[in-house]
Structure 1
Amino acid sequence: MGSPSQAADAVKKSSQAKSYVNKVTAADLTDSDRTFMELREAAKKNDVPRTQQLAASLVNYPYDDYVAYFRIKPQLFDSAGGARADTIADSQVLAFLNQYQGSALADRMRNDWLLVLGKRKDWARFDAEYPKFVLDDDTQVKCYALQAKLAQGENPTKVGIDARAVLTDPRYYGQACQELVPALAGAGGLSPSEAKALGRAASEMGFDTMARRVGGEDPIADIVKAAKADPAKTYKEFSRNAARYSKENQAVAWGVIGQFLAKSLDSNADDAYRLQQELGYNELLSTESQEWKVRAGLRAKDWTLVKGGIEGMNPAVRTKDPAWTYWYGRALAVSGQNDKARENFELIADQFNFYGQLAREELGKSNHAPAKTKVTDQEIDAMATRKGFVRGERLYAMNLRFEGNREWNWELRNMSDKQLLASAEYAKRISLYDRVVNTADRTKQEHDFSLRYPTPYRDELSPIAKQIDLNLAWTYGLIRQESRFIMNASSSVGASGLMQVMPNTAKYVAKKIGMTSYTNERLSDTGTNLTLGSNYLNMVLGDLDGSWVLASAAYNAGPSRSKAWREKLTSPTEGAIFVETIPFNETRTYVKNVLANATYYSAVMNGQVQSLKQRLGVIAPKVASQSELP
């Protein structure tokens, strides 16, 4: 819950607001709710007998659509999660789609059925259903759609162009994309070299069986394997033996070696990528190799490689992440093309993310919070009766966040900015702070950054931060990223609470600060979690010379890793480059978000417009050191 003063303000907003604070809790759940939760778990395992049994016992349950979905869905997939090709559930699916058309769950059912239809190669029915799939966010479904076009005689060259935009991440290929690539290559829509490149991308991620299915035998498969295991040794050996390979294979091998050298923060990565750049074949590099080529150039301050690496990227990769627009602008500025550099910065300057902030600073603009758009009590009250919000709140009470988010987000579709802000304010009044953030984050022209960057628990957190002289804006930026203010949030590795504190870390910090009565059960207490998390963050900051970049990275990945990444530096490096070259994808994204959040929290809480570049600072090399911090 928020502070007493915040709660009081919320209640004063309208008479109806008084009902908002009485949010549904686990204590309100019935025996039927618990059976429903059990049904959901059985459906996740595609346990047909169990789901049939449980669904039959939930007569007249309010969420009849979910009961029906959880009963039908396991009939569409096998125990390993693969789509079945039989027609046993077709009539049930059609009846469901007809009865619940237009709902979030119907769209999910259509997603499931499209996977079945694709596996069955029932292209006529697939083509009839695919245009009705609203979210269209499943890579496998996209690959089946391309298979359908190919099977029905569409020009393979055109299908290949569309496929290149879809096939950027092997983690989401599934069976459909693994079938698509060899079929396209056989029809001439992809060259044999392009098919091998897609297979190699899978191999780089450890999907060796997938790699062979997609691209067949790869002449540099051994080099890929060796580079993953020991990139430095592979670099030396290939330097001696490269002439044995064709020009194309030399180029892609250097790209693979460069990628794994760069991920090891090895300075030879720049050299490996330079050799690849001279040979060409940029289009045959995986997404990972293309992106790490730019990062290797940044780390080495090789702006020529940065510029060439971005220009050689798959357009679908280049335009997806504002990082590449920003760094391309920086590379242009280094080469004296200032007008073109400004054009690139302008492309992302209206984004409120890490690189949008940096782009604005390059243009001489400040990162202030935009003017606040106000919504009326009437507009907020109208959200209390929205079906998706009412259903979502009940699902959240059952701790079914995936389903709750689906209902909530479906309700947000096609809303105006003011409706989104009213929805965010409603979420705030019922203490669903993650929905506050995610809903307010969607606005395009009208904003309220006090909702995008809310400060719940401020009465509890402020005294803690003040006592240890910890920057409150940064702390809030970290909590927003860690838990979205979900008090009962927990991670797969055991971190819990607002600040996602690990039990061993909590014990260590409790001992250090003299919290003698601490037990792990107390980690779920708001005040305890904030006390231990804040003190640990402050300890990490002190241990890392006051660098918010290094401390943010350490909070996510551990102090030893943050120090090891700094120790790899050969010269002082601007903070933005250090962040972009963090080897862990999760930590790299985490640090960007925490520091970008901190900039806006400072503006929201204090009215202070601060420079993100100044927050990032310059990271200097430092010799190896030991720390007792966990």
Structure 2
Amino acid sequence: MVKKKLLVSAKKGKAIAGAFLLGILLASPMAHADKTKKSGSNNISKVMANDLTDSDRIFIDLREAAKKNDVAKTQQLAASLTNYPYDDYVAYFRIKPQLFDSAGGARADSSADSQVNAFLTQYQGSALADRMRNDWLLVLGKRKDWANFDAQYAKFVLDDDTQVKCYALQSRLAQGENPAKVGLDARAVLIDPRYFGQACQELVPALVGFGGMSASEAKAIGRAANEMGFDTMSRRLGGDDPIADIVKAAKTDPAKAYKDFAQVASRYSKENQAVAWGVIGQFLGKKLDSNAADAYRMQQELGYNELLSAETQEWKVRAGLRAKDWSLVKSAIEGMNPAVRNRDPAWVYWYARALKADGQDAKARENYELISDQFNFYGQLAREELGRPNHAPPRTKVSEPEIEAMTNRKGFIRAERLYAMNLRFEGNREWNWELRNMSDKQLLAAAEYAKRINLYDRVVNTADRTKQEHDFSLRYPTPYRDELSPIARQIDLNLAWAYGLIRQESRFIMNAASSVGASGLMQVMPNTAKYVAKKIGMTSYTNDQLSNTNTNLTLGSNYLNMVLMDLDGSWVLASAAYNAGPGRSKQWREKLTTPTEGAIFAETIPFNETRTYVKNVLANSTYYTTVIQGQTPSLKQRLGVISPKAANSSDLP
């Protein structure tokens, strides 16, 4: 089973990997700083459930009730938390359920206006005030109270909510702005139906009514929702779709849909033929069916690229890559919605490759240069195409006073205490808010501070943000090295690859747990752990030992080594197998008709999570090799070439 997004359950009450400073329990921030100073290095304490106060437990219960929008319970719990240090969170958790119904929808009839305004005034400039403003904007948008909406929207710092953006576009329409201009801006927002909510479902038909969007464009947005299984949303967005049955057939059995539509395509308009072939191509592509490229070629002849969903546009490129049809790759990327094309460096890299295949070397180099300063998977590949090594940039050092200054940052102090209560979501909000507007050196000082208090996920997150000055020992940290190195050495497992995988799996959060049961630094599944323990002779193993650092690293490393040997030493296949299972990795390889370069194999992995996972693990391992060994390996060489091969028998889980 594919592992899903990491989460840390507050209910378990376990210690977080990055425990908090003892000093933060003291009354003042300066006492916190003094405690750090006296110890010489940050004094760490792991908080277990029995270290929490009664008020802490009530606070955690309040947070859970607020998540469910349980008004009565939040009022009751909040009333018992007088003088609690986090009065803003108590107030927020009390007010927020009054703004939303039990299903999470904004309540236009909410009577909490005065409470919200008082909160925004009292806690102005804080992370939580921005969160409250986000919630309030959803209520104001639903009310169509555009005067107050616009006033609050101008103060919304993060501006990262798709529904709020759709309400902002509705407001512009309502105030008479040119519908064509609003429609143009809407195209950059209406990309992923998963985040549309009610606001975007109202926006699309409104744009059609005002003349800012064509009926065909609205149907295309609705079709994107249909492709993802949101049938009701699809009809609300675009009305009845002439090819709705074809979309349904393509999702169910794309090979059959391909054959059947070929028999009846002439009955449809040119536009509907084009979009139907595109949808069929997408779902064939996700099955790694060689006919995907043919379906897209038929779509390409007909045109209407702008009416293809983001998923269909992206899989058009992947189908071309899989077929080694560089002409199709080039035309697919050129026909992308700019908002889709610009959100992923993959399309810059593959466009450069297509230009190179077309003999346009100078233009190819121009495109490689666009992403050559990025440290991600495609930035590394672009540098190699330009003949440059993937070494780590020079290290920028920060001084002790610069690091010490971070100990007094209110957001960090608050975040540490929230982490101590296992409230990671809230802790991350406070930590990340504090990072806003920091210089590169300040970010590095904050990352070093996080390292000293063992908050390694914050080390990575913070160091990842620097633009010009870097410290890759922080961006790619190596905690638990004393435990992991001998394990890797004993089984001849590449240490840099193992670290690259752990960085992606858990960000070094020891008690990280996935929704499907994987746990620990290497996110090991219980059944996998039992299998590996038996294979390596760990006879007394029980699953409660997975929380032990050494046991987790031992089992995870051995399993990684097992899948590597089972998959002919390919890091690409083994990384995919670690995430999605060896069976799937083998099935994807079997679908190949000719030897295929590893980068193309990685880009055409059907599962979104696994595709991203493999690219990140391989990119991580490059820099870990630099950090650990001082070497600059070739990512292209590590990706290698994947050859078709029949599945060998294996009992690996």
Aligned to 1:370, the other structure's residue is in SS state coil
1:204-256 superposed Cα distances (whole Å, 9 cap, x missing partner)? 00000000000000000000000000000000011111100000000000000
Q: 1:272 aligns with which of 295, 309, 318?
A: 295
Give the structure 1 partner of residue 451 of structure 2.
428
* Contact kept in structure 2, 1:507 and 1:518, CA below 8 Å: yes
Preserved CA contact (<8 Å) 1:23 1:430: no
The one of 224, 234, 253 aligned to 2:257:
234
Q: Is the contact between residue 465 and residue 472 of structure 1 (CA under 8 Å) also seen in structure 2?
A: yes
Aligned residue in 2 for 1:18: 40
In structure 1, the partner of 2:8 is: none
Mark the runs of 5 or more structure 1 residues left unpaired by the alignment.
3-13
Residues in 1 aligned to 2:596 and 2:274: alpha-carbon distance in whole angstroms: 29
Find out whether 1:300 has 2:323 as its counterpart: yes
**Does the 8 Å CA contact 1:326/1:355 hold for their aligned counterparts?**
yes
Q: Find the counterpart in structure 1 of residue 129 from structure 2.
A: 106
Conservation of the 8 A alpha-carbon contact between 1:567 and 1:621 = yes
CA offsets, 1:106-133, max 9 Å, x none?
0000000000000000000001100100
Query: Partner residue of 1:328?
Result: 351
SS across alignment from 1:463: helix
1:171 maps onto 2:214 in alignment:
no
Distance in 2 (alpha carbons) for counterparts of 1:411 and 1:66: 17
Deviation at 1:28, TM superposition (A): 3.7
The residue number in structure 2 matching 1:289 is 312
Residue aligning to 2:627 = 604
> Which has the bigger relative contact order, CA under 8 A and spacing at least 6?
2
> Which secondary structure state, in structure 2, belongs to the residue aligned with residue 309 of structure 1?
helix
Counterpart AA for 2:86: Y
Structure 2 partner of 1:361: 384
* Distance in structure 2 (CA, Å) of the matches to 1:159 and 1:333: 37
Contact 1:332 1:341 in 2 (8 A): yes
| SS across alignment from 2:160 | coil
SS of the counterpart of 2:201?
A: helix
For 1:41 and 1:449, how far apart are their aligned partners in 2? 38
CA distance in 2, matches of 1:397, 1:479: 22
Report the counterpart of residue 592 of structure 1 in structure 2: 615
Q: How does 1:27-38 map to 2 (within 5 A)?
A: 28-38=51-61
Aligned letter for 1:322? P
Residue 503 (structure 1) aligned with residue 526 (structure 2): yes
SS at match of 1:166: coil
RMSD of aligned residue pairs (Cα, Å) = 1.0
Aligned mates of 1:627, 1:78 — CA distance in 2: 50
CA distance in 2, matches of 1:227, 1:24: 52
| Structure 1 residue 626 displacement after superposition | 2.9
**1-side partners of 2:370 and 2:235: how far apart?**
40
Q: Distance in 1 between matches of 2:256 and 2:339?
A: 33
Query: Which residue number corresponds to residue 477 of structure 2?
Result: 454
| Residue pairs, 1:90-169, within 5 angstroms | 90-169=113-192
Cα deviation digits, residues 154-206 of structure 1 (max 9, x gap): 11000000000000000000000000000101111110000000000000000
- 1:536 maps to 559
- Take 1:222 and 1:382, find their aligned partners in 2: how far apart are those partners? 62
Cα separation, 1, equivalents of 2:82 and 2:550:
43
Counterpart AA for 1:497: G
Name the structure 2 match of 1:390.
Answer: 413
Which residue number in structure 2 is paired with residue 441 of structure 1?
464
**Is the Cα–Cα contact under 8 Å of residues 98 and 110 in structure 2 kept in the other structure?**
no
Find out whether 1:407 has 2:424 as its counterpart.
Answer: no
When residues 274 and 21 of structure 1 are mapped into structure 2, their CA distance, relative to the original with a 3 A threshold, is same
2:436 and 2:649 mapped to 1: Cα distance?
51
Aligned to 1:79: 102
Aligned residues: 619
1:262 aligns with 2:296: no
Q: What is the letter of the counterpart of residue 424 of structure 1?
A: A
What is the alpha-carbon distance in structure 1 between the residues aligned to residue 625 and residue 39 of structure 2?
Answer: 29
Maintained 8 Å contact 2:349/2:367: yes
1:616 pairs, out of 639, 643, 647, with 639
Tell me which amino acid in the other structure corresponds to 2:507. R
Instruction: Look up the equivalent residue of 1:18 and give its one-letter code.
Output: G
How far apart are 1:361 and its partner, in Å?
0.3
Q: Does 1:184 align with 2:207?
A: yes
State how 1:477-556 maps to structure 2 within 5 Å: 477-556=500-579
Equivalent-residue separation in structure 2 for 1:176 and 1:627 (angstroms): 50
What is the alpha-carbon distance in structure 2 between the residues aligned to residue 325 and residue 304 of structure 1? 15
Does structure 2 retain, via aligned residues, the 8 Å contact 1:477–1:594? yes
* 1:623 partner SS: coil
CA distance in 2, matches of 1:24, 1:46: 31
Does the CA contact (< 8 Å) of 1:332 and 1:338 recur in 2?
yes
CA drift of 1:87 comes to 4.0
Q: Which amino acid aligns with 1:226?
A: A
**1:220 matches 2:243:** yes
Q: Does structure 2 conserve the Cα–Cα contact (< 8 Å) formed by 1:575 and 1:617?
A: yes
CA distance in 2, matches of 1:576, 1:593: 12
**Does residue 581 of structure 1 match 2:596?**
no
2:339 is the alignment partner of 1:316: yes
Q: Which amino acid aligns with 2:40?
A: K
What's the TM-score, normalizing by structure 2? 0.94
Question: CA–CA distance in 1 between the matches of 2:382 and 2:617?
Answer: 17
1:106/1:166 CA distance change after superposition, 3 Å: same
Q: Could you tell which deviates more after superposition, 326-335 or 26-35?
A: 26-35
Pairwise CA distance, 1:627:
1.8
Within 1, Cα distance between the matches of 2:315 and 2:322?
Answer: 10
- SS of 1:116's equivalent in the other structure is helix
How much does 1:22 deviate? 2.2
Report if the CA contact (8 A) 1:421-1:440 is conserved: yes
C-alpha deviation, 1:398, in angstroms: 0.7
SS at match of 2:460: helix
Using the alignment, how far apart are the partners of 1:103 and 1:19 within structure 2? 29
Alpha-carbon distance in 1 for matches of 2:99, 2:488: 52
State whether residues 501 and 617 of structure 2, in contact with CA within 8 Å, keep that contact through their aligned partners in structure 1.
Answer: yes
Q: Scaled by the length of structure 1, what TM-score is found?
A: 0.97
In 1, Cα distance between equivalents of 2:43 and 2:591: 51
Alignment of 1:40 with 2:46, yes or no, is no
Pair 125,624 (structure 1): closer, same or farther in 2 beyond 3 Å: same
**Paired residues of 1:21 and 1:431 also in contact (CA < 8 A):** no
Following the alignment from structure 1 to structure 2, what is the Cα–Cα distance between the partners of residues 420 and 17? 23
> For the Cα contact (< 8 Å) 2:41–2:452, is it kept in 1?
no
CA contact (8 A) 1:16 1:381 kept: no
Q: Distance in 2 between matches of 1:59 and 1:572?
A: 67
- State the alpha-carbon separation in 1 of the partners of residues 42 and 88 from structure 2: 26
How far apart, in 2, do the equivalents of 1:341 and 1:374 lie? Answer: 36
Partner of 1:205: 228
3-state SS of 2:458 partner: helix
- Superposition deviation, residue 623 in structure 1: 1.2
Which sits farther off after the overlay, 65-74 or 85-94?
Answer: 85-94
CA apart distance, 1:628:
0.4
